Amino acid sequence: MTSSALLRPLLLGVATGMRSQLGLAALAWSGPAGSRDPAVLRALHSRAGRAALGLAAAGEVVADKLPRVPSRLRPSVFGGRLVSGAVAGALAAGSTGRRAVATGGALGMAGAAAGAYAGAAYRRAAAQRSLPDLPFAVAEDAVAAGLAATAVRIRPEPRPRWKRLPFTSR
């Protein structure tokens, strides 16, 4: 896999760790599905898929500001973020090959773990200083949205077969 094909699932995973619905929503809204895309990705790009994921992402952004929302590091919530990150990463891999999908899923899951822990630490640091949570939550939303937007703009380009041979440079 090229470096862009590795970076895309990782960034979507980090965004998913910060806002669990954002990675899949970003993929759904990233553009029209291609005829060679997997059926799951084509379903995300459908009108119903875009609407459902857009509403889920918007609902999470609002719910994140409420005081009774459980910690993202609670095992059941954290597990959901890992699964969502793995799915987003696998779909963002840019290939349907087993190795690319597995690598994309693993990177998405690792990114989701990193994003969840980083986001929780960021919000905890603000709370320990007795600062209001809302501005920090909105800033976290902006960072997550920026990461997701950057990730979907990265287009993994498969290298030609001859450039993958061991005796060639690159």
142-145's contacts with Cβ under 8 Å and 24+ in sequence apart are 143/18, 144/14, 144/15, 144/18, 144/19, 144/22, 144/115, 144/119, 145/15, 145/19, 145/22
Position 12 in a domain = yes
Structural domain for 88, as ranges:
3-156
Position 145 in a domain = yes
Position 53 in a domain = yes
Q: Each residue of 125-162: pLDDT tens digit?
A: 988 888 888 999 999 999 999 999 999 998 766 555 55
Q: Each residue of 30-80: pLDDT tens digit?
A: 887 777 777 888 888 899 999 999 999 999 999 988 888 899 999 999 999
Spatial distance between the Cα atoms of 19 and 57, rounded to a whole number of angstroms: 8
Position 164 in a domain = no
* pTM score of the predicted model: 0.86
Q: Which residue from 147, 137, 90 is spatially nearest to 115, judged by alpha carbons? A: 147
Position 161 in a domain = no
Position 34 in a domain = yes
Position 140 in a domain = yes
Position 162 in a domain = no
How many structural domains are present in the chain?
A: 1
